């Protein structure tokens, strides 16, 4: 038995004994601890019975009442049987464990230490190659270590407090992009936005263009763009084409020397914007999360772009029963990243192919997971009814807008220069 296990056992015995001998139990005590905080499964079952008794109107929970509760729940054997439950009074009388409140604090502290130890072991196993998902394990360890400094359980606040102190932060202005989105669906920090499009319709182009518009409109902004399909050089060249409205890709392909000279001049002109666009080719959500945290420690990130959701591997490297659940895990990780870094997460998502490209897409067309729709604060769907005609007008349909109205924004494809024109 480790020292922490010994301390946990003593604290759990003291808490349960004091509770079953008490003439009155403060309901706040039962609210302060979860059965999951107990190291011994028997003690967790007993504590669950005590909490049930108090929450259903009882003032105390003597051993005979706890036994009845355990029997009703079918957990008497799990709790060690009648004799074990009835023995807590003797333990408490014979030994001085401290007050119930002191024992509860000790139980909570031991539970935190166990979680840190489990997270540290997972990180160590991943580092030694015995497990996958090293980045996720490391982040989990950091969160566990941070929890040791937070001894106060998160409290539920009342509506008056939320409206008085939290409303302004909730409805702060979006980050300017100098596009119609500023009017219809402002991109606010701490939120996740999804841009959906059918394969080959230009969702990556439009997502990158929005990130570049944000950088141009905000001189201190920093953007991380993670792509599963392009290298750093390819993605950067695509960004340069968009910024300069010029097809450098064809120029480099047909006349490499002259093309590279033209690229060099354009890079110098757009150097400030390009230096604030960080590109990362990866299919791992773990890698995206780790890189975002690393960059954020140096210069706070304004936006993280994920291209695209259904191609990313879920956090932790674990296996999922279905692809739908895996994409759901990726979506939840994007939402958590937006909240943890207080930045915008702009995620591209493929739409399921329709019988006709002219069919208007809906939220149900988001590929692989309905959870994407649930997690997103806003969803915009790229619709190109005349996909084969690069000059035909397209629409950006605001299909979900948690804090605004639905809308349709006209787009003019300029795909030769890797961009869209805004119809305004």
* pLDDT single digits (tens) 226-275: 998 888 999 999 999 999 999 999 988 888 888 899 999 999 999 999 99
pLDDT at 220: 93
User: Where are the CATH 1.10.860.10 domain residues in the chain?
Assistant: 3-112
Are the C-beta atoms of 313 and 319 separated by less than 8 Å?
no
Q: Which run of H or of E encompasses 399? A: strand 394-401
pLDDT (0 to 100) of residue 329 = 83
Straight-line distance from the first to the last Cα atom of the chain, in angstroms, rounded to the nearest whole number: 71
* pLDDT attached to residue 32: 83
Which overall architecture, per CATH, does domain 3-112 show?
Orthogonal Bundle (1.10)
Instruction: Walk along the chain (424 residues) and give the pLDDT tens digit of each residue.
Output: 788 888 899 899 989 998 999 999 988 888 888 888 999 999 999 999 999 899 888 899 999 999 999 998 889 999 999 999 988 866 655 565 568 888 999 999 898 888 888 877 777 776 666 655 555 556 656 655 555 555 444 567 788 877 777 777 777 888 999 999 999 999 999 999 999 988 888 899 999 999 999 999 999 999 999 998 888 999 999 999 999 999 999 988 888 888 899 999 999 999 999 999 999 999 888 888 888 988 988 889 999 999 888 888 877 655 566 777 778 888 888 998 998 889 999 999 988 766 465 678 888 877 666 678 888 999 999 988 876 666 678 899 999 998 888 999 999 888 889 999 985 3
Instruction: Supply the pLDDT for residue 259.
Output: 87
Top-level CATH class of 169-422? alpha beta
Q: Kindly report the backbone phi and psi dihedral angles of residue 77, in degrees, each rounded to the nearest multiple of 5, phi listed first.
A: -65, -40
Residue by residue, DSSP assigns 18-41 as HHHH-SS--HHHHHH--GGG-SSH
Q: Are strands 344-350 and 192-197 parallel, antiparallel or unpaired?
A: parallel
DSSP string for 339-351 = HHHT-EEEEEEEB
Which tokens is 114 given?
A: 């166990």
Report the candidate in 287, 343, 350 with the shortest Cα–Cα distance to residue 314. Answer: 287
- Closest by Cα among 310, 321, 290, 289 to 371: 310
How far is the C-alpha of 326 from the C-alpha of 330, rounded, in Å?
6
pTM value? 0.65
Domain with CATH 3.40.50.300 in the chain: 169-422
State the pLDDT at residue 400: 92
DSSP codes of every residue in 186-237:
-B-TT-EEEEEE-TTSSHHHHHHHHHHHHHHH-TT--EEEEESS--HHHHHH
């Amino acid at each position: 038995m480790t020292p922490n296990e010994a301390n946990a056992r003593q604290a759990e015995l003291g808490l349960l004994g004091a509770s079953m001998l008490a003439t009155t139990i403060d309901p706040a005590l039962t609210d302060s601890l979860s059965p999951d905080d107990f190291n011994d499964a028997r003690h967790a079952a007993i504590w669950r019975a005590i909490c049930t008794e108090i929450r259903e109107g009882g003032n105390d929970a003597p051993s005979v009442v706890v036994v009845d509760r355990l029997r009703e729940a079918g957990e008497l054997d799990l709790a060690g049987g009648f004799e074990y439950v009835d023995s807590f009074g003797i333990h408490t009388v014979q030994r001085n464990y401290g007050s119930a409140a002191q024992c509860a604090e000790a139980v909570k502290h031991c539970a935190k230490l166990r979680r840190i130890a489990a997270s540290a072991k997972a990180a160590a196993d991943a580092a030694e190659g015995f497990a996958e998902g090293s980045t996720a394990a490391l982040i989990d360890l950091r969160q566990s270590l941070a929890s040791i400094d937070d001894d106060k359980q998160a409290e539920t606040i009342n509506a008056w407090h939320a409206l008085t102190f939290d409303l302004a932060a909730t409805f702060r202005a979006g980050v300017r992009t100098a596009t119609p989105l500023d009017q219809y669906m402002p991109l606010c920090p701490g939120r996740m936005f999804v841009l959906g499009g059918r394969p080959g319709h230009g969702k990556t182009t439009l997502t990158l263009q929005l990130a570049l518009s944000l950088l141009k409109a905000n001189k201190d902004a920093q953007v991380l763009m993670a792509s599963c399909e392009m290298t750093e050089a390819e993605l950067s060249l695509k960004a340069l084409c968009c910024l300069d409205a010029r097809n450098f890709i064809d120029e480099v392909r047909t006349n490499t020397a002259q093309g590279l000279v033209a690229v060099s001049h354009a890079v110098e002109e757009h150097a400030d914007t390009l230096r604030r666009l960080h590109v990362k080719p990866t299919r791992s959500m773990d890698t995206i999360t780790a890189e975002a945290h690393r960059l954020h420690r140096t210069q706070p990130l304004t936006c993280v772009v994920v291209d695209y959701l259904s191609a990313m591997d879920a956090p932790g490297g674990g296996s999922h029963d279905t692809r739908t659940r895996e994409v759901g895990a990726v979506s939840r990780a994007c939402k958590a990243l937006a909240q943890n870094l207080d930045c915008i997460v702009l995620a591209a998502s493929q739409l399921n192919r329709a019988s006709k490209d002219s069919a208007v897409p809906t939220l149900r067309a988001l590929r692989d997971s309905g959870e994407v729709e649930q997690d997103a604060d806003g969803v915009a769907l790229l619709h190109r009814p005349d996909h084969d005609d690069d000059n035909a007008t397209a629409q950006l349909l605001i299909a979900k807008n948690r804090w605004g109205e639905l809308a349709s924004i006209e787009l003019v494809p300029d795909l030769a220069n890797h961009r869209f024109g805004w119809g305004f």
